[in-house]
Amino acid sequence: MEDWKQRLDADPGFLVERWEPYPDYYMEPGSCVIVPSSPYFAMIGIFPELFHRLAPGRPAVTIGSGAADLCAVAHEAADALRAPLGVATPTPQPGSAPWIAPVSRPVSDLPDLPERFEALRRAAWYAAEAVPSPEELKGTLDFSVELDAAVAAADIQLMLTGQVAPAWREEYEQIDPARHSVVGLVSGPGDEAVPVPFEKDAAKWRGLNAKGSLPWTPKEYQRQYYPDRGETQNVVISATRALVFAEILDEFAARLTPGLNAGLIHYSAYELGQFFTWGIGRELSDHSGF
């Protein structure tokens, strides 16, 4: 993530001021990638999914075979962003690179584990105790605390007093993260709310791709687009941002590779999830009016 942030901060952009053929800002050849709006809309759909899959505490899951085409179309989108810039496609995931931590150390090996757990229990209790119960929240007009937070706090208090409580709750109980998108539900037959299978997500993505051409880069100076004047058929992102976006698309595909066993998500993933939602994800989504 830090590498992505540093590259984004150093991005020189792609617009230059020119006086010919008339005064305006122009896209410099090779400095940006132009993406038709329909395929671009499909691409930015990965950010909510990544955010939810990186939520700290999410339990381990083995990705099912139904994700194969979604994984493939994400890789294709990444390659399509690189192609106009002449950047070679990296080795497909999982490749041959060693894992981040070649020698792992179980948490149980920590010598002061009991003391850490006790400190965590105390902090969790004080935090949960300060949150209104779901019943109290429903009986007030206090919107400063979300109901989901109140439910989680109640679950923590149950667990800390030795009672049974779920360690994790999906936003909707119908969702199976091994087979479905974890973001939400859609209307199914008879108007009942149903989860979205990976296969349906992939088909929707390919359908949006079919409505636009492949991304390209200007071969000569081209006047910038003005969305406020109705020029919304294409989205322009800098070469730097296109390459970072391509890597994030590959990250999305890697996390949805069939057969992949994703372990318990630790709190260290929190900042990455925030980056995908409020950092690069928000910036790239703003190009489409979100």
b/e per residue 140-175 (b: at least 16 CB within 10 A): eeeeebeeeebbbbbbbbebeeeeeeeeeebeeeeb
Separation between Cα atoms, residue 168 and residue 59, nearest integer Å? 7
Tell me the per-residue pLDDT of 100-129, one tens digit each, with 9 for 90 and over: 455 556 777 888 999 999 999 999 999 999
Question: Quick check: is 25 in a domain?
Answer: yes
Work out the number of other CB atoms within 10 angstroms of the CB of residue 180.
Answer: 23
Pick the range with the lowest mean pLDDT from 15-19, 85-89, 255-259.
85-89
What's the pTM? 0.87
pLDDT of residue 160: 95
Q: Using the predicted structure, report yes or no on whether residue 50 has a pLDDT greater than 70.
A: yes
Question: Quick check: is 117 in a domain?
Answer: no
Tell me the per-residue pLDDT of 194-216, one tens digit each, with 9 for 90 and over: 999 999 999 999 999 999 999 99
Question: Quick check: is 86 in a domain?
Answer: yes
Question: Quick check: is 140 in a domain?
Answer: no
One DSSP character per residue, 110-135 reads: -TTHHHHHHHHHHHHHHHHHTSPPHH
Q: Bigger pLDDT: 90 or 244?
A: 244
Is residue 227 within 8 Å of 40, Cβ to Cβ?
no
Question: Quick check: is 266 in a domain?
Answer: yes
Overall number of domains in the chain: 1
List helix spans (H) across 222-269: 239-255
pLDDT of residue 104: 58
Is residue 62 within 8 Å of 178, Cβ to Cβ?
yes
pLDDT of residue 89: 75
Phi, psi of 90 (to 5 degrees): -70, 170
Cα torsion for 255, 100, 88, 10, to the nearest 10°?
A: 100
SS3 184: strand
Question: Quick check: is 84 in a domain?
Answer: yes
Question: Quick check: is 159 in a domain?
Answer: no
Tell me the per-residue pLDDT of 136-174, one tens digit each, with 9 for 90 and over: 998 887 888 999 999 999 999 999 999 999 989 998 999
SS3 content of the chain, % helix, strand, coil (to 5): 50, 15, 40
pLDDT of residue 290: 42
Q: Using the predicted structure, report yes or no on whether residue 36 has a pLDDT greater than 70.
A: yes
pLDDT of residue 189: 79
Print the domain residue range for 84: 2-90+178-286
Cα torsion for 119, 123, 128, 131, to the nearest 10°?
A: 170
List helix spans (H) across 130-197: 134-138, 147-160
pLDDT of residue 191: 80
Question: Quick check: is 151 in a domain?
Answer: no
pLDDT of residue 100: 47
pLDDT of residue 58: 93
